[in-house]
Structure formats: C-alpha cells, structure tokens
Structure 1
Amino acid sequence: MPSDRTNQATALLIELPGDGRPMHARLTGAIRAAIAQGRLGPGHLLPSSRALATELGCSRWVVNEAYVQLTAEGRLETRQGSGTRVAAYPAVRTASPPAASADPEPPASHVDLRPGAPDVNGFPAAAWLRSLHHVLTDPAWSPPVFPPAAGAPRLQQTVAAYLRRARGLPVDGDDVIITCGTSHGMAAVAQVLAPAAPGVAVEDPGWFRLREVAAAAGLRTEPVTVDEHGIDVRAISRAGVTAVICAPAHQFPTGALLSPERRRALLAWASRNAATIVEDDYDAEFRYDGRPVGALAGLSRDHVVYLGSVSKTLHPGLRLGWLVPPPALRGALLAAVETSGAGPGIPEQLAFAHFVESGAYDRHLRQMRKTYRQRRDTLLHALHEHHLAVRPDAAPGIAAGLHLTLPLPSRSDEHAVVSRLAGLGVTAIPLSRYTIRPRPPALVLGFGRLPPSRAGWVAGRIAMALQSRNGTQQAERIDDRLV
C-alpha cells in the first residue's frame, strides 16, 4: 500500500506510513497530524466514512474507528445532519476540566473615529445584488470576454452621464477610463508625468497616500500650504513644479473649498506653464450646507486629470473608480492603466452601471447624505456641549465630507492625547499624520461610522483626554473654530 493517499473529494493529502500498525491506527494518526499542522482547520468538514473509505481502498469500519477515536479526543465533533467536522478548538479532553474562572471583564467600549471610511453597514446590499443578478442573467448585459483596457463601454457611458449631470464635466463615454480607485488612477498619472516633470506640488496637510504614490514613481513632491481658501496657488508658482495634486471640492483634512479666485488662478497657472492638475474629487457627493460645487475639470479639461471612485459612496472593497484625462494625455494614461494589469472585474463594472441607471445610486446617496449629516450635527453638538467646538452653522470646513478637524489647546501633545483616548476606548488620528511641516495640534475625527447615540460619550472621552495628568482641565481655551 502506498504511504501517501490523496482524498480527491477534499484534496487533502492523507499520509499513511507503512509502520506495521493496523490501518485504522495509521489513519487516526494521519488525521491527527493534519489537524496539528493546520492543514485541517476548525470547522473543516471531513468526507463521509463511505467516501473516504472508497478513496483509501479500505472498509468503512477503518474510517469509523478513526473518527470515533478522534471525536473522543476532542479533535473532531459529529452533529446530526452536519457531518463530521474538526472541532472549533481542537484539544485533548482531560478527565477533570479546569475550574471555571470568575466572570470575565466586559469588553471595553470602543469607537473608531479614523477618517477616510464610510459606514459600510449602510451598503445597499439588496439593490446591489439585484443589479448584479440582472447583468449576469440578461443577455443584453452579457460581459465581454476580453474587455477593453478603458473598461466596460456601458460603464464608461454611465459614468460620463453621471459626471455631466452631477459634477459638471463635459465628457463622453470615450473620455472615461475605468480604474480600481483613486490610488490606481494616481499611479498611472505619476507614471506618465515622472519622465518629464521636475516635481509635483502636494497639499500640506493632505492625504498622504497620493503623495506616496507620486514619490514611488520618482516624482519630487513639494509641500504647499492649505488655508481656509484652499491650496496656495502663489506658492505653487514658486515651487518650480509642472504638476499639482489637489482636492478642490473638499480638501482633506482641513475641509477647505478652493475659492473661485484660486480656481481661476490655478487654471491660469496650468495654462501658462503647460502644467497638469490632478483633481482628487474627494467627498464631493456628500455636501450638506450651501450650494453644490462643480468639479474643477468642468471649467477646463485641457490641463486637469479628474479622479473619482465609489470608495466613500459605496464601499472601498469594490475597488472601482474612474479617471478623466485631458485629451492630450489620454493615450499615455490608457497605456499606463493597461500595463498595470489590475482593472476592476467586469461583472462589478456592469453591476455598478445598472445600479446607477436604475436610480439606486441616487437613492443611496440621498439616504446617506441624511445619515451622515445627522451624525455630523450630533457630534458637533456634543463637542459644543463639552466646550470643544462651535455650532455646525458656524464651523468652517465641515460643509461636506465624513470627517472634521478638531483643534487642540496650543500646547497639547497630539500623540499623548491620542494615546489617552485609546485607553478610554476611542481611536482617533492626530493631524500630524497628514502634515509635512508643523501645524497647530488637532485631531482628525471621522464621524461616518459614529452612531448618533455614541456622540455624547465620545465627546466626553475627548474632554477627559484633554485633562492634565492630575485631572485638572488645561487652562488654555480651545480655538473657537475648526480648521
């Protein structure tokens, strides 16, 4: 008999050494070893005794004896109707189990305020599944076997129509390139710009991921200050660069909106210098106060690369986005995306196209705007009650998006505050995580996943974390606005 047998039903290698022991003992040892080595994990369903006996060329009695022995040892468990499985916590049972310990401490309350993520529990699963089922069963939506590098044509047309309607971009389907998201699009842009561009200006503070992608492609990054009017265009001119990465509609993390004057100045700078503006349309769909703001690329497409995705509106795990390049760069950017070889799946692309065309995307956005606005207002009210922030209608920078930036007293140690908050059950991020040059201390708080019922609790924990070690409140007053 060969020493190795493979159970083809489960593709599990069963090692039966020819050591002279009875076969049921060798099978018992082989399964025991597979469990110990992790090849059979907790909950793994073993084949029936009949199937395994057929595979091994032995009687069912041999397999049954092995299963009975391993069940007695606590390594397997058998339940009526569910077969024989590896025990959830395989261990040898002892005659006298250890005495029960005292009641365990309840888990500490924990709230995650890290920015950059939506409430994935709000994902419209039922509507998405309807769209996915439709495109997989309707012959009119049959996915192409060899999809074009720019993406599924149906989705290109759908995204173009959405951008014309919601973001003010004068584009057609052929102008759109489907990507795996903003970072994927930025990687393609950086690959194209790197050979000729002396450097790229980046917002400071700003989303570090995009500047990391640019730097990885060999681009020199030059930090440019952001104030309440957005990125400083004069500083871009002084930086000696031919490209800039910015978020005009809702800057991260300050929340600043690029003013009309600076929009015009930025486009004029790009035109004079034959430069490229990379527009990250971050959080543009979630605007709560004031009139909607169009995309910068809607004013001039000649020098603007537009990047968008569904990572905040639906789910970052979908890895679905789009890139709208200037006409002169389309060929080079399409080649860069194609060589990356990592486009989103065609069924997901078509599902999103149907999701938008059916009206489900607009309904979802309307619902989530209400949800996020309520969470923002509730948190701001709770912070105001603890003298940590001002009223929602007086706080600049939070008219849109899923986060706010909370200033700290001028002598605060951001990292110490974050550490104390962690001990109190709250995860927060210091502003310095997103800065290149020093700025006044602050916390960046994501409220997208914060239940309104927890806002008061969170504000209280932040107030506690700002207390000095002897328990007295720091004397300085917190700045009377959000940056």
Structure 2
Amino acid sequence: MVVQAYQRLVDEGLAEARTGSGTVVTGRGVERAARPAGDRRRTLDELRLPISTPDDIDIDLSPGIPDLSAFPRAAWLRAERAVLDRVTGADLRYGDPGGAPRLRAALVDWLARTRGVRCEADDVVVTAGVAQGLALLAQVLRSRGTDAVAVEDPGSRGAMDQLAFWGVRQVPVPVDEQGMRVGELAAAGVDAAVLTPAHQFPTGVVLSPERRRELLVWTGLVIEDDYDAEHRYDRAPVAALQGSAPDRVAYLGSVSKSLAPAMRTGWLIAPRGLQAELLAAKHATDLGNPALPQLVLAQLLSSGDHDRHLRAVRTRQRSRRDALLAGLRTHLPEARVAGVAAGLHVLVLLPGAADDVALAERVAAAGVLVQPLSWHRRRTGPPGLVIGYAAHPPDRLTEAATRIGRALSR
C-alpha cells in the first residue's frame, strides 16, 4: 500500500524519484486563493462524420457511447421515490443557477474522494454536460479578450467544434505517448489550454508525471476535461490536476459516460476569479438545470448506489475491451493498440496505411461504423481508427473485429 501511494504521487506530478535521494515532494501544489467578491456558427454538414455510411450499418462502434443497457433503473427509481418523499416547495422554485445545494455538496464529497478535487459547494456550477461547461468558459474567456486556446492534437473533435462555435480559435499542440507536449505551450502564445490529462482523447495515453509538473508551473488557465476517468481497468486513475492547482484549473466532468449522455448533467469547477462571470452566463443561458434530476443524482451519490453502479460497469467494460482486442489480434494482427486500459474506446494504429478515411469507408461497407483518427486531427499525422466498445456485448465485438479484419486485409 505504501509503495502504491508513493507511485500515485509520482504519477500525479506531486513527487519524483531521485537517485540517491529517494522519493521527494516537488512542491508543485498551490493553495487556494481567498474568495473574491461573437460567435462562429457551423452548419450541420460541417459537423458530420466525413465518411459515407451505408444504410446497413448494424454495429456502431462510435467512441464515447457508454453501455446504455446498464443504466441503473432500479437504483434511479429508488432514489427518485426518496427524493419525492421529502421534496419541498422551495426545491421546486427557481433556484440558484449554480445548481441544487444538495447536489453541489454531494459532488464536493464524491469528487474529493474519487478524483482528488479540492473545492467547496459554492465553487461547483452544475451544467448540462461538459459541452455546456466548455461553452460557458468560452463565452467568459471571449469577454475577457481571450480568443485563442491551445488544444491537444489529435484531440476531441467535439470540443474543437464547441470552441469554434463560440468564436475561440484553437492552436494545436502535438500529443505523443506522454500526452500533450506541454513544453510547446509557451510558443503557442495562448493564455489557456484544453486537455484530457487522465485519459487523452483519442490516443488513450496519460499525461506523464514530468509533463504534469510542467503544466502546473505554466502560467495560463488549464481547462481539464475529465470525461471518462471513472473507467480505468488496471489500476486507480491518476488524480485530477485541479487538486494540485485549483486557482489555475477549470475542471469539467459529467455523468454522460457513467450513466447516460441524455442525462445532460455535468459540473464545472473553475478558479474563483471566474466564478461570478460563469454563473451570470449560466443564468442567462437557462436559469439553471432541472431540479428533480439533480436531487436524484445527489441521492445516488450520497447513498453509494452510484459507486456500486460504476464498479459493476467497469467489470462489464473490461470484458468488452478484452473481447475487442482479442478479436483484433486474431483478425488484424498487424494493428497496434495505443493507450492505457481505460475509457470506452481504443485507438488502433495501422502501420503502412496511408488514408484512414478510406479505411473507415471499407469498414463501414462491412456494416461496422468507426471513426478515422484524422477526423480528430488539426495537422497531418499517422493514420488510425478510433473504435468504441462500450455499447456492445463481447460476442458482437468479436464479430465486429472479424469484419474489420476482413475489410482491411483485402
């Protein structure tokens, strides 16, 4: 246990092993500061996947879709009944745009325990998913004169589209096997950067301890998208960056990957100097999230039902990932799978291939939908396929791997 604790501190960039000196604390943590008192629209055609998909697609392996059949219906119903038994008129009025107090308090405890996040209830803004949290940050940054941010390349196409919609230009910073090349942020000439450090999308790598330390001394705003950290299968995930620098990290998360995307429930925990403007933007957008689902989620978190659900889902997801990888090893042995054992997708690299859009087209012709890696790139780079596995049982994933292998081996 002691060895594991030291290793986790090293993984999170808070300590480092030095020859002759043992493991020493780096001193990168930052204490909390005291609490202070034009858009670019894109058409639907621009946002569509750039491959033609036949009507007979019957295995959709798009990344980011969880196992919706695992939604905890019984636990949700119990929590809903418990909430309705004690809900008051005050709970049903127009509330704080930052969210229901019970959910904010439950998130503080849960995120501290599971992700190492440091915050108070008033620091939490409940959002309609990570997408809205990113939109609120984009609006506030624009109002402050920031019209460009650094993004991972390759990185989340959805995040890039969201930023572009709000008129924020993206400056691509390359990603390698250690995550974003943080040393290139200074040359990017930006004051903010969007990262997925716990499990980079789409490469699946984890930001290395050395680069975490570099990032913690960088002077810009770090926007941390912690989109699927609940799903690590070989060990506990590294803690969120926010816990090391809460005054310089805006932390985003949601239940889209743990419960269902249609819940449209997430959270934004930003440095306190941004919070008043973010709350004003949230209020102007929708006056706040619906109250009852917030109270039900708070009940799930506080009762432990959400943790029990996640434990069960992780077991299912690991078996699905194993089935897909076994199938690919058999039917596409030349493929290399990047990243760690985590999340809801894998990145498959294909040495010798040239055009991953053409590869995705061939796979689609076999009835399987995957995404080309180039769809998530800003600059040219090695081709690959981004394959989601969470939404299908092992036998369907084995069948999908067989079809992929046949399509790409012709």
- TM bucket normalised to smaller: 0.7 to 0.9
Unaligned runs of 5+ in 1: 1-106, 469-483
Corresponding letter in the other structure for 1:237: A
8 A Cα contact 1:251 1:282, kept in partner: no
Q: 1:377 is aligned with what amino acid?
A: D
232, 236, 259: which is aligned to 2:208? Answer: 259
Pairwise mapping of residues 10-409 of structure 1 onto structure 2 (< 5 A)? 110-139=58-87, 143-195=91-143, 196-270=145-219, 275-341=220-286, 343-388=288-333, 396-409=338-351
Cα 1:464/1:323, change in 2 over 3 Å: same
The answer to whether the 8 A contact 2:180-2:207 is kept is yes
| CA distance in 1 between partners of 2:161 and 2:101 (Å) | 31
Deviations 1:367-400 (A, max 9, x none): 0000000100111111112243679xxx551321
The answer on whether the counterparts of 2:99 and 2:126 sit within 8 Å (CA) in structure 1 is yes
Amino acid at match of 2:252: L
Q: Residues 464 and 390 from structure 1, CA distance in 2 versus in 1: closer, same or farther, beyond 3 angstroms?
A: closer
What amino acid sits opposite 1:301 in the alignment? Answer: P
CA distance in 2, matches of 1:206, 1:389: 24
Call closer, same or farther: CA 1:178–1:111 in 2, change over 3 Å. same
Partner of 2:4: none
Secondary structure in 2 matching 1:114: coil
Once the 2 structures are TM-superposed, how far is the Cα of residue 450 of structure 1 from its aligned partner? 2.2
Distance 1:131 1:411 in 2: 50
CA 1:452–1:153 in structure 2 vs 1: closer, same or farther (change >3 Å)?
same
> Per-residue deviation at 1:441?
1.2
CA distance in 2, matches of 1:109, 1:174: 46
SS in structure 1 of the partner of residue 79 of structure 2? helix
Q: Which amino acid aligns with 1:211?
A: M
Partner secondary structure for residue 172 of structure 2: strand
Identify which range, 415-424 or 442-451, moves more after superposition: 415-424
> What letter corresponds to residue 302 of structure 2 in structure 1?
E
1:415 to 351, 357, 360: 357
**2:30 corresponding residue in structure 1:** none
CA distance in 1: counterparts of 2:226 and 2:94, whole angstroms: 30
Structure 1 distance, partners of 2:338, 2:357, is 25
TM-superposed CA distance for 1:454, in Å, is: 2.0
Distance in 1 between the 2:89 and 2:224 partners?
A: 32
Deviation at residue 140 of structure 1 after TM alignment: 6.5
Question: Residues 143, 226 of structure 1: CA spacing in aligned structure 2 closer, same or farther, 3 A cutoff?
Answer: same
SS in 2 for 1:143: helix
Distance 2:182 2:304 in 1: 39
Q: Looking at both structures, which has the greater relative contact order when contacts are Cα pairs under 8 Å and sequence separation is at least 6?
A: 2
Distance 2:81 2:90 in 1: 11
Please state how far the C-alpha of 1:453 moved relative to its aligned partner: 1.1
1:225 is paired with a residue of what secondary structure?
strand
- In the aligned structure 1, how far is the partner of 2:116 from the partner of 2:235? 17
Cα offset, 1:201, TM superposition: 0.3
- Against the structure 1 CA distance between its residues 141 and 412, is the aligned structure 2 distance closer, same or farther, given a 3 Å change threshold? farther
Give the whole-Å Cα distance in 2 for the aligned partners of 1:344 and 1:389: 48
CA distance in structure 2 between the aligned counterparts of 1:186 and 1:108, rounded to whole angstroms: 35
Contact 2:332 2:409 in 1 (8 A): no
Measure how far apart 1:234 and its partner are. 1.6
Partner of 1:428: 370
Gap change, CA 1:129 and 1:419, over 3 Å in 2: same
User: Secondary structure, in 3 states, of the residue corresponding to 1:406?
Assistant: strand
Q: 1:139 Cα shift?
A: 4.2
Letter in 2 for 1:413: D
Residues matched between the structures, number: 355
Q: Which amino acid aligns with 2:123?
A: D
Conserved? CA contact 2:62–2:388, under 8 Å = yes
User: Would the aligned equivalents of 1:424 and 1:461 in 2 still touch at CA under 8 Å?
Assistant: yes
Is the contact made by 1:161 and 1:172 (CA closer than 8 Å) also made in structure 2?
no
Q: Residues 185 and 259 from structure 1, CA distance in 2 versus in 1: closer, same or farther, beyond 3 angstroms? A: same
Q: Is the 8 A contact 1:141 1:350 kept in 2?
A: no
RMSD: 1.8
Could you tell me which amino acid in structure 1 is paired with residue 316 of structure 2? T
Structure 1 residue 292, shift from structure 2 partner: 2.5
Query: Structure 2 stretches of 5 or more lacking a match?
Result: 1-54
Relative to structure 1, is the Cα distance of residues 345 and 198 closer, same or farther in structure 2, using a 3 angstrom cutoff?
A: closer
Secondary structure of 2:378's match? coil
